[in-house]
Amino acid sequence: MKRFVPYLVLLFGVLYLASSLRPKEPRTEFDLKEFSLLPVLANGRIKPLDTVARTSLLTLQARQRVIAPDDTELSTTEWLLDVLFRAEAADTYRTIAIDNLEVLSLIGQDEESIKRTYTGAKRVMAILGFLPSTHRRFAFEQIEPYLSELDSQARLADAVEAPARDAFQRAVVKLRNNLYLYQQLKHSVVLPGDTQFLSRIQRLQDEMVVGVAAVRARAGGQEHDEALAERVMEAGMMFQRMEQVAYLLPIPPLDGSQNDADWQSTGQALLGSFQDGLVNPYALTYAALADAWRNQNAEQFNTLVRLYQEDLNAKFGPQVAKAEAEATFNRAEPFYAALKLYVLAFLIAIVSWLRWPDILQRSANWLLLLAFVATTVGLAVRMWLEGRPPVTNLYSSALFVGWGAVGLCLVLERIYRNGIGSTAGGLIGFCTLLIAHHLSLSGDTLEMMRAVLDSNFWLATHVIIITIGYSATFLAGFLAMIYILRGVLTKSLDRQTSDALSRMVYGIVCFATLFSLVGTILGGIWADQSWGRFWGWDPKENGALLIVLWNAVVLHARWGGLARTRGIMALAVFGNIVTSWSWFGTNMLGVGLHSYGFMDEAFKALVAFVVSQLALIALAYVPSTKWRSRDALARKSPAVTPA
């Protein structure tokens, strides 16, 4: 029966991925799925409302889960509907995260007031750290009385350059920006708190021509209908406020123009009604949707969404198709699914060193391949949605670094068939997708390109090649970590395994050196075209050069006999530190043309990673009889003795 285990593991992985594509059963009569597919323009690109809901929640609270005051869990779409159409309810949801104690004091909170209380088993879980011990998310209604003070503190922090801000200043600026985003969302479609918005617009439709004439007559000192002029003036001021504050541009051009620049905010579209003499029908549709949602009229809501979708499909077919594909991609979460498969592949590969090596190694390899395919599909969909090569920002670089390293691991496993490639691939795949997950908490990862990066040619050459260099250098370091850990913690590092790991690390370092060098040279050519100089000692440029030089050090140490197997492994592990510094550390310096800003969480994670790598290097040099016996074997074996 053991021979069927790989097939069962593969079947489990396929079924798990397939289950992520299956739509969830609706919990409500409202057609939330169709509403979530509606396209809007935000941050320079057309995206579905599903993406707006997910990324906004990630920005505000670093998660997509929303719990109402009555402990009901809301979907992301239900939350967005409440924010857009029923703001008084959304204001009661705890969706705004605050972690800094000094900022908490500005909204009347202290360490005692934010403590959570549990009873029974939950109390034990909280003590063990499985449940949060404090409240870190707050409702807008709790924060609203303190908006003025928060804004004052944020303005003071704005006067300080970003790299020089302390933790409090960074936190208060972030909170101010999040609160502004939340209020922008509330003003994007209807006026918050106005329960008569639809009737106002309908009345305006009936009085438009006469009302505008009344306003003009009053301005010219002529006789006019005073009440009518007042209503039109009031409506104009209301629409103007909505235009100034709105975050979304949900109104497509009436003439069917395919130019994204022609999309409008609801306020802008309604202001245009005064010139056209006709209320924008799309703005009227959203007002009717708001009324249906507020009154919980599912039949009216679903009919409006269906008719609006049909109209959009007729005029904006490509945009609607892309929005639907993006929403499906969001629901499937291929990278999250791949992350779980990578963990399982890693664990199975580890167990294969203890039991059933042939069976479990094949199982781990097939599962790793399946996770690699899921990641590949995810990257391909992102490329299609964005119209760009796979690496455009830090988030996508984390995806691609993991993807490239896992691809190399599959090649290594195909050659050596010893489970090491599957182990390294599972570990690297999991770590890089975990990094990507934390980077995604900042919001939309399909962001618009900075002007200097707006070149598909260089994104497809320099960026891809240098990122493959990152992947390979990390892989060499992770293979070296396996060598050290197996050598210290187990008895499984025999001569054959040591020999295989030595050849793997050597080959991967050669590969990494080539791609890092070529990528760095191409980066210099791009810099010359963009900034008029090939090299400027920018921190990111220096980081790229450090990777090339360190890989060269490893190779020369091996070729010159300066280090034997264990020394080469320690050098390869240090390559992880060099690469992580080039990848993330240089971005957090706050200087240079490649600086993306300081991040508290990223800095702490980087320091922890560096400490762990230094600890592994130290572990490699712990005196041990096992090391001495293996070094003796290495001296006798020409396969592992440096050339």
Q: In the prediction, which pLDDT does 487 show?
A: 85
CA triple 35-38-44, angle to 5 deg: 140
Q: Are residues 172 and 291 in the same domain?
A: yes
Q: Are residues 25 and 41 in the same domain?
A: no
Closest CA to 58 of 513, 395, 311: 395
**Average pLDDT over the chain, rounded to whole?**
86
DSSP letters along 295-355, please? TT-HHHHHHHHHHHHHHHHHH-HHHHHHHHHHHHHHHH-HHHHHHHHHHHHHHHHHHHTTS
State the Cα–Cα distance between residues 255 and 257, nearest whole angstrom. Answer: 6
State the Cα–Cα distance between residues 239 and 245, nearest whole angstrom. Answer: 10
pLDDT digits (tens, 9 = 90+) for 56-83: 999 999 889 999 998 899 999 999 999 9
Judged against a pLDDT cut of 60, whether residue 638 lies above it is answered with no
State the Cα–Cα distance between residues 34 and 273, nearest whole angstrom. Answer: 28
Q: In the prediction, which pLDDT does 475 show?
A: 95
DSSP letters along 541-598, please? HHHHHHHHHHHHHHHHHHHTTSS-HHHHHHHHHHHHHHHHHHHTGGGGGS-STT----
pLDDT digits (tens, 9 = 90+) for 95-136: 999 989 999 999 988 888 888 777 777 776 766 666 777 788
CA triple 559-561-562, angle to 5 deg: 110
State the Cα–Cα distance between residues 444 and 447, nearest whole angstrom. Answer: 6
Is the residue at 152 inside a domain? yes
Lowest pLDDT segment from 312-316, 403-407, 491-495: 491-495
Cβ–Cβ < 8 Å for 606, 543: no
Tell me which of 273 and 519 has the higher pLDDT.
Answer: 519
**Domain end marker among 397, 419, 448:** 448
Q: Are residues 506 and 468 in the same domain?
A: yes
Mention every residue, 6+ apart, whose C-beta is less than 8 A from residue 386.
Answer: 392, 446
Is the residue at 321 inside a domain? no
Q: In the prediction, which pLDDT does 625 show?
A: 58
Closest CA to 428 of 361, 363, 371, 358: 371
Is the residue at 325 inside a domain? no
Tell me which of 297 and 637 has the higher pLDDT.
Answer: 297
**Domain end marker among 421, 448, 475:** 448
Is the residue at 73 inside a domain? yes
Cβ–Cβ < 8 Å for 247, 42: yes
Tokens of 337: 């699914």
CA-based torsion, 353, 354, 360, 366: positive or negative? negative
Q: In the prediction, which pLDDT does 589 show?
A: 65
**Alpha carbons within 13 A on the beta-carbon side of 604:** 4
Confidence band of 203 (pLDDT split at 50, 70, 90): confident
Q: Are residues 207 and 290 in the same domain?
A: yes
Q: Are residues 513 and 373 in the same domain?
A: no
Q: Are residues 65 and 213 in the same domain?
A: yes
Q: Are residues 78 and 220 in the same domain?
A: yes
Tokens of 413: 């496993």
Q: Are residues 438 and 481 in the same domain?
A: no
Q: Are residues 303 and 352 in the same domain?
A: no
Which of left, alpha, beta for 248 (phi over 0: left; psi -120 to 50: alpha)? beta
Tokens of 124: 């034990």
Confidence band of 221 (pLDDT split at 50, 70, 90): low
Phi, psi of 138 (to 5 degrees): -135, 155
Mention every residue, 6+ apart, whose C-beta is less than 8 A from residue 243.
Answer: 265, 267, 268, 271
State the Cα–Cα distance between residues 542 and 520, nearest whole angstrom. Answer: 10
Distances (CA, A) of 239 to 185, 192, 197, 358, 380: 15, 12, 11, 69, 41
Judged against a pLDDT cut of 70, whether residue 222 lies above it is answered with no
DSSP 3-state of 41: strand
CA-based torsion, 459, 461, 466, 471: positive or negative? positive
Q: In the prediction, which pLDDT does 239 show?
A: 83
Is the residue at 118 inside a domain? no
What is this structure's pTM?
0.87
**Domain end marker among 417, 448, 479:** 448
Q: For the chain, how many structural domains are there in total?
A: 3
Of all residues in the chain, the percent with pLDDT exceeding 90 is: 52
pLDDT digits (tens, 9 = 90+) for 559-583: 988 888 889 999 999 999 999 998 8
Q: Are residues 422 and 354 in the same domain?
A: yes
Q: Are residues 547 and 609 in the same domain?
A: yes
Q: Using CA atoms of 210, 213, 215, 217 in order, give the dihedral in degrees to the nearest 10.
A: -130
DSSP 3-state of 66: strand
Q: Are residues 309 and 354 in the same domain?
A: no
Cβ–Cβ < 8 Å for 634, 564: yes
Residues pairing with 67 in the sheet = 73
Rg (CA), the chain: 29
Task: Quote the domain boundaries for residue 347.
Answer: 1-30+333-448
Tokens of 108: 């009347």
Mention every residue, 6+ apart, whose C-beta is less than 8 A from residue 641.
Answer: 564, 634, 635
Q: Where are the alpha helices (DSSP H) in 187-259?
A: 197-219, 226-245
Q: In the prediction, which pLDDT does 521 show?
A: 93
Judged against a pLDDT cut of 50, whether residue 531 lies above it is answered with yes
Confidence band of 636 (pLDDT split at 50, 70, 90): low
Phi, psi of 615 (to 5 degrees): -65, -40
Phi, psi of 46 (to 5 degrees): -80, 130
* Mean pLDDT, range 216-228, rounded to an integer: 59
Tell me which of 442 and 299 has the higher pLDDT.
Answer: 299
Distances (CA, A) of 541 to 460, 548, 566, 592: 18, 11, 30, 9
Beta strands in 128-211 (DSSP E): 137-139
pLDDT digits (tens, 9 = 90+) for 342-400: 999 999 999 988 888 888 999 999 999 999 999 999 999 999 998 888 988 888 999 99
Is the residue at 125 inside a domain? no
Lowest pLDDT segment from 185-189, 529-533, 569-573, 598-602: 598-602
Confidence band of 256 (pLDDT split at 50, 70, 90): confident
Q: In the prediction, which pLDDT does 641 show?
A: 40
CATH number at residue 342: 1.20.120
Judged against a pLDDT cut of 80, whether residue 448 lies above it is answered with no
Is the residue at 385 inside a domain? yes
Lowest pLDDT segment from 64-73, 260-269, 445-454, 489-498: 445-454
Judged against a pLDDT cut of 90, whether residue 505 lies above it is answered with yes
pLDDT digits (tens, 9 = 90+) for 451-465: 556 677 878 888 899
Q: Determine the length of the chain.
A: 643
State the Cα–Cα distance between residues 558 and 578, nearest whole angstrom. Answer: 19
pLDDT digits (tens, 9 = 90+) for 567-626: 999 999 999 999 999 888 777 666 655 555 556 667 788 889 999 999 999 998 877 655
Is the residue at 453 inside a domain? no
Residues pairing with 134 in the sheet = 115
State the Cα–Cα distance between residues 229 and 206, nearest whole angstrom. Answer: 14
